[in-house]
């Protein structure tokens, strides 16, 4: 058993001082209590490491390539999407694995202990299938194994180009599967997951109501096998209008009325919801998967966090497009969006918890639920997903308990205070750097030199 000594630790029972945590050989927490053993490592502050519940790793290599105005009067999510399709046509399996590994390294260094990878890039350019249908899913698993990050793989079902059931074309052809081929792909990917680390999981991910019709959604349910169900929903106004025109109801409204949405579901974005939809989603116990940095970047809109959390809604955060990977900045952006909209302060704080504590607790719990991962707290039996933080600095050294989280999130220096990260007991970040950073960065730089800049 590996022993961590910590001056302060955030537990489900609150803050505790002068503690030790023991990690068993199976990657779970075998012991937690007052110091009594010789330490293998010491950290100032120990936190549970949240799940990054929504990521498209290949988009990490697009960062910095989409910030110029196109020929249209107004750039939007839809013009960005066209650029993304042109970009992905350049990527081969080796590129995709190297980009994913770089993104996973940055996630771990940012404090995420695991990731739910919403993986919809399945085939070669033009839609040509690989000899093994799960080739690119397997590459995501290989990248995760190389970095040690926890993984919930979400192979995406993507059948149509819109609610009118139009066929996919262009860059979208790399996403396409009918239900029979998707079932085979999912079975192959499941076998790969079964041969990997014991904490790895697989789920189901219909891309959206535009890409999967009602019949397709129903067909997918039998594949879940206890895994999570993730889906994009109500991200853009145009998406809401299209779904309403074809299905007669808004996306969240239609989904809640036609499917048994429960705690096994994670609905991504939810930035275009009415007050009634917000309340109903909270009551469903599904997780709202929020990606505040990407939602800001793409002009999606502002999630109604104030009313959703007031109704006991469950939520987590993800890095989505991976334009900037930072756990603490995702939380800050979420809170600041509420303040800007309502002209308020401490919008998501409660009478019991500061803003930072309320946000952090929410995403630790919500992310674990969304990924169906046995993490979410420093307590015996849970996976040892931890963040080690140094307080030996002028930024947070004077802060105590909840105010430390407030400083890490809102002080602009949170990621720089992270010294160590564990994922299922794998000590993957030490001294603020991933243990395999140099080789993974070198491979990524090679990919960038090969693919060049998108036209």
Q: Is the predicted pLDDT of residue 355 greater than 90, yes or no?
A: yes
Look-up: residue for tokens 């990524």?
444
pLDDT band at 385 (very low <50, low <70, confident <90, very high): very high
> Which contacts (CB < 8 Å, 24+ apart) does range 76-79 have?
76/299, 77/235, 77/236, 77/298, 77/299, 77/300, 78/236, 78/238
325-349 pLDDT, tens digit per residue, is 999 999 999 999 999 999 999 999 9
- Cβ burial of 124 (10 Å; 0-12, 13-18, 19+) is middle
Kind of pairing, strands 150-157 and 201-202?
Answer: parallel
Q: Is the predicted pLDDT of residue 84 greater than 90, yes or no?
A: no
In this prediction, residue 70 carries a pLDDT of 65
pLDDT band at 49 (very low <50, low <70, confident <90, very high): very high
CA atoms within 13 A on the CB side of 205: 28
In this prediction, residue 87 carries a pLDDT of 78
In this prediction, residue 453 carries a pLDDT of 56
How far is 304 from 20, CA to CA, in rounded Å?
39
- Average pLDDT value over all residues in the chain: 94
pLDDT band at 81 (very low <50, low <70, confident <90, very high): low
239-269 pLDDT, tens digit per residue, is 999 999 999 999 999 999 999 999 999 999 9
118-143 pLDDT, tens digit per residue, is 999 999 999 999 999 999 999 999 99
Catalytic residue numbers read 269, 320
Among candidate residues 339, 422, 426, 350, the one with its CA nearest the CA of residue 388: 422
pLDDT band at 361 (very low <50, low <70, confident <90, very high): very high
pLDDT band at 455 (very low <50, low <70, confident <90, very high): very low
Distance linking the first and last C-alpha atoms of the chain: 53
Q: What share of the chain is helix, strand, coil (3-state, %, to 5)?
A: 40, 20, 40
Quote the pTM value.
0.96
């Amino acid at each position: 058993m590996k022993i961590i000594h910590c001056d302060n630790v955030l537990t489900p029972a609150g803050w505790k001082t002068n503690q030790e945590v023991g990690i068993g050989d199976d990657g779970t927490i075998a012991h937690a209590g007052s110091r009594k053993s010789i330490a293998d490592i010491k950290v100032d502050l120990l936190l549970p490491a949240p799940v990054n519940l929504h990521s498209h790793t290949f988009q990490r290599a697009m960062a910095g390539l989409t910030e110029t105005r196109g020929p249209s009067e107004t750039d939007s999510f839809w013009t960005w999407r066209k650029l993304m399709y042109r970009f992905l046509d350049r990527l081969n399996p080796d590129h995709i694995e190297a980009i994913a590994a770089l993104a996973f390294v940055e996630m771990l260094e940012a404090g995420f202990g695991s990731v739910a990878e919403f993986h919809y890039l399945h085939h070669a350019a033009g839609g040509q299938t690989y000899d093994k249908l799960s080739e690119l899913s397997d590459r995501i698993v290989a990248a995760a194994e190389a970095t040690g990050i926890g993984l919930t793989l979400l192979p995406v079902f993507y059948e149509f180009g819109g609610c009118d059931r139009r066929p996919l074309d262009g860059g979208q052809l790399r996403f396409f599967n009918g239900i029979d081929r998707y079932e085979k792909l999912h079975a192959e990917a499941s076998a790969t997951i079964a041969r990997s680390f014991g904490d790895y999981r697989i789920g189901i991910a219909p891309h959206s109501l535009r890409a999967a019709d009602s019949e397709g959604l129903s067909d997918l349910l039998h594949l879940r096998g206890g895994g999570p169900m993730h889906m994009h929903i109500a991200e853009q106004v145009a998406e809401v209008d299209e779904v309403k025109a074809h299905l007669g109801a808004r996306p969240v409204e239609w989904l809640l009325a036609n499917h048994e949405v429960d705690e096994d579901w994670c609905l991504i974005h939810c930035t275009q919801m009415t007050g009634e939809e917000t309340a109903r989603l909270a009551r469903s116990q599904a997780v709202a998967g929020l990606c505040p940095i990407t939602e800001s970047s793409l002009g999606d809109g502002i999630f109604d966090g104030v009313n959703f959390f007031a109704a006991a809604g469950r939520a987590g955060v993800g890095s989505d497009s991976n334009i900037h990977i930072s756990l603490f900045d995702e939380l800050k952006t979420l809170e600041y969006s509420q303040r800007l909209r309502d002209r308020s302060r401490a919008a998501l704080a409660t009478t019991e918890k500061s803003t930072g504590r309320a946000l952090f607790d929410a995403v630790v719990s919500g992310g674990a639920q969304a990924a169906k991962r046995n993490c979410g707290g420093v307590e015996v039996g849970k996976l040892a997903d931890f963040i080690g933080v140094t307080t030996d600095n002028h930024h947070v050294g004077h802060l105590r308990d909840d105010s430390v989280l407030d400083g890490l999130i809102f002080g602009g220096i949170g990621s720089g205070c992270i010294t160590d990260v564990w994922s299922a007991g794998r000590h993957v970040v030490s001294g603020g750097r991933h243990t395999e950073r140099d080789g993974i960065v070198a491979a990524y730089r090679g990919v960038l030199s090969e693919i060049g800049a998108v036209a």
